[in-house]
């Protein structure tokens, strides 16, 4: 199942400590399960009668919980530790150490109420959380904190914590098991998109290459009357405005290419792709790849241009973090004398949802002038709608043997810009500093962007759990 279609599954640890009221632990457990069920999350937790009060305190309790987690390890995306009272630091850390799931961990502690601090009702989770976190630090177990040091389980704050943590878990799970198709060879003139497959594999990302000729041969072998081709034709015609000048055979050619790529993606269980988008496909087949890539992106299968594999990984990371469909853009032009704005463009392959405005599907402009417009149908054109934006770019630093990235937030604006293709006018605070960082550190001219703010989620996932080097631009 596509990770975007799956609700997170959490392993749950309810902590308790013997000389605090155990009723608080059992009540916290019930509140937690009710909240997760209401929000639609799945969970794994020992039965209520498996341990005293349904909570974890002793080594025996930890073994019971850890064995259950190990049995369900394929399903568990992250672990949530809740402290309805002080909790037992050993019970928590021993469970995690025994289970060895290596998934993100969220630590929550419950508020005390001002009118309930007598012996029967005091929680002291404010203090207990410090003890638990101290032990996690000692054991080298990374963990995610809640927005507030303590909060009520039934609070809106904890709902936000759960949403953020679920997305962190999705990023970590997705990027440590990602499969990315490399369709064709990179353009010879674009050394900027070179990368190390071995460094990607070190974090769990597998690259699956295919020669472009195999995709083109598969497309050429398709009969126009096949149901898959006819269905794709219907999708294309409904996707955007196609000028009347575009001949039917050009649209049919594009549909066949899309079906061939879709089948390669499905057969290899791929999460994203990077495509050789010029010039071979235009010269040897007679259309652009942009529309096929846009259609994949609209189905949560992001696709990057010019066989920029780490660009495709960047897109997939944004998708996992935000749940919003990303686009793939060039840092392309200044915006007059406004140094806080720039223009990001591509030919383009932007998914319709990323564009946010009506789209035209027509020919590539620059390549159309040199290769012939009749060979270049399939470009997505329009202006990206105004709204919040997060940008992200990762790559392999082969000189230093590391994975690295930069990340930040800004906005798309509705400022005009008289250029063809896919146009996004971007406003980014302190843009010059960001561009200087990119230049000095040899980052590519490509970047992934999505239509929301999600930098906190990505920063947490890639630095704390994946241990990538990250520059967060402010």
DSSP 220-243: HTS-TTSHHHHHHHHHHHHHSB--
Q: How many CB atoms lie within 10 A of CB 191?
A: 8
Mean pLDDT value of segment 34-43 = 98
Summarize pLDDT for 40-68 with one digit per residue, the tens: 999 999 999 999 999 999 999 999 999 99
**Is the dihedral angle over the CA atoms 88, 93, 98, 103 positive or is it negative?**
positive
Which domains, ranges and CATH numbers included, belong to the chain? 3-175 (3.40.50.1070), 179-472 (3.40.275.10)
Q: Measured at the alpha carbon of residue 386, what is the angle toward residues 277 and 312, in degrees to the nearest 5? A: 30
Instruction: Pick 3 or 298 by higher pLDDT.
Output: 298
Summarize pLDDT for 367-408 with one digit per residue, the tens: 999 999 999 999 999 999 999 999 999 999 999 999 999 999
CA 306 from centroid of its chain's CA atoms = 21
Tell me the two tokens of residue 92. Answer: 């928590």
pLDDT at 451 (0 to 100): 98
What whole-number distance in Å separates Cα of residue 64 and Cα of residue 43?
16
pLDDT at 20 (0 to 100): 83
**Arithmetic mean of pLDDT over the chain:** 97
Strand order in the sheet with 105-109: 42-44, 9-14, 78-83, 105-109, 144-145
pLDDT at 22 (0 to 100): 86
pLDDT at 114 (0 to 100): 86
| Contact assessment for residue 449 and residue 329, using Cβ atoms and an 8 Å cutoff | yes
Question: How confident is residue 218, by pLDDT bands cut at 50, 70 and 90?
Answer: very high
What whole-number distance in Å separates Cα of residue 427 and Cα of residue 1?
36
Q: What percent of the chain has pLDDT over 70?
A: 100
pLDDT at 118 (0 to 100): 86
Summarize pLDDT for 319-331 with one digit per residue, the tens: 999 999 999 999 9
DSSP 389-415: EEEEEEEEETTTTEEEEEEEEEEEE--
Mean pLDDT value of segment 194-206 = 98
What whole-number distance in Å separates Cα of residue 98 and Cα of residue 147?
28
pLDDT at 119 (0 to 100): 77
pLDDT at 21 (0 to 100): 86
Of the chain, the end-to-end C-alpha distance in Å amounts to 36
Which H or E element spans position 387? strand 387-397
Summarize pLDDT for 313-364 with one digit per residue, the tens: 999 999 999 999 999 999 999 999 999 999 999 999 999 999 999 999 999 9
pLDDT at 2 (0 to 100): 83
Task: Single out the residue of 449, 280, 225, 446 nearest to residue 353, CA to CA.
Answer: 449
What whole-number distance in Å separates Cα of residue 2 and Cα of residue 265?
13
pLDDT at 1 (0 to 100): 58
What whole-number distance in Å separates Cα of residue 356 and Cα of residue 358?
7
């Amino acid at each position: 199942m596509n990770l975007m279609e799956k609700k997170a599954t959490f392993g749950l640890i309810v902590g308790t400590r013997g000389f605090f009221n155990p009723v608080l632990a059992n009540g916290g457990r019930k509140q937690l399960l009710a909240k997760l069920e209401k929000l639609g999350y799945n969970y794994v937790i020992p039965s209520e009668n498996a341990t005293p009060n349904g909570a974890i305190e002793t080594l025996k309790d930890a073994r019971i919980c850890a064995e259950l987690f190990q049995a369900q390890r394929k399903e568990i995306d992250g672990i949530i530790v809740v402290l309805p009272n002080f909790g037992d630091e050993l019970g928590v850390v021993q469970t995690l150490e025994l289970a060895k799931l290596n998934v993100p961990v969220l630590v929550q502690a419950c508020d005390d109420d001002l009118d309930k601090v007598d012996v029967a009702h005091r929680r002291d989770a404010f203090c207990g959380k410090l003890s638990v976190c101290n032990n996690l630090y000692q054991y080298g177990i990374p963990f995610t904190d809640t927005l507030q040091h303590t909060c009520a389980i039934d609070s809106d704050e904890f709902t936000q914590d759960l949403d953020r943590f679920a997305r962190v878990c999705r990023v970590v799970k997705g990027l440590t098991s990602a499969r990315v198709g490399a369709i064709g060879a990179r353009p010879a003139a674009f050394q900027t998109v070179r990368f190390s497959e071995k460094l990607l594999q070190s974090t769990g990302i597998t690259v699956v290459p295919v020669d472009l000729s195999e995709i083109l041969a598969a497309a050429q072998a398709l009969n126009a009357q096949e149901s898959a081709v006819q269905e794709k034709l219907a999708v294309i015609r409904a996707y955007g405005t196609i000028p009347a000048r575009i001949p039917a055979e050009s649209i049919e050619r594009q549909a066949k290419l899309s079906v061939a790529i879709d089948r390669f993606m499905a057969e290899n269980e791929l999460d994203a792709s990077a495509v050789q988008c010029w010039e071979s496909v235009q010269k040897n087949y007679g259309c652009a790849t942009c529309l096929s890539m846009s259609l994949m992106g609209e189905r949560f299968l992001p696709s990057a241009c010019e066989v920029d594999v780490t660009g495709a990984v960047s897109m997939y990371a944004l998708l996992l973090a935000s749940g919003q469909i990303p686009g793939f853009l060039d840092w392309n032009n200044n915006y007059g004398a406004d140094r806080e704005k720039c223009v990001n463009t591509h030919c383009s392959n932007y998914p319709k949802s990323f564009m946010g405005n009506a789209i035209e599907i027509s020919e590539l402009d620059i390549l159309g002038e040199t290769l012939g417009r009749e060979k270049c149908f399939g470009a997505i054109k329009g202006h990206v709608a105004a709204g919040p934006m997060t940008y992200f770019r990762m790559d392999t630093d082969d000189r230093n043997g590391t994975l690295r990235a930069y990340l930040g937030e800004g906005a798309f604006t509705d400022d005009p810009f008289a250029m063809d293709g896919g146009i996004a006018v971007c406003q980014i605070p302190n843009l010059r500093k960001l561009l200087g960082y990119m230049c000095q550190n040899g980052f590519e001219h490509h970047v992934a962007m999505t239509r929301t703010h999600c930098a906190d989620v990505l920063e947490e996932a890639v630095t704390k759990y994946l241990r990538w080097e990250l520059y967060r631009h402010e």
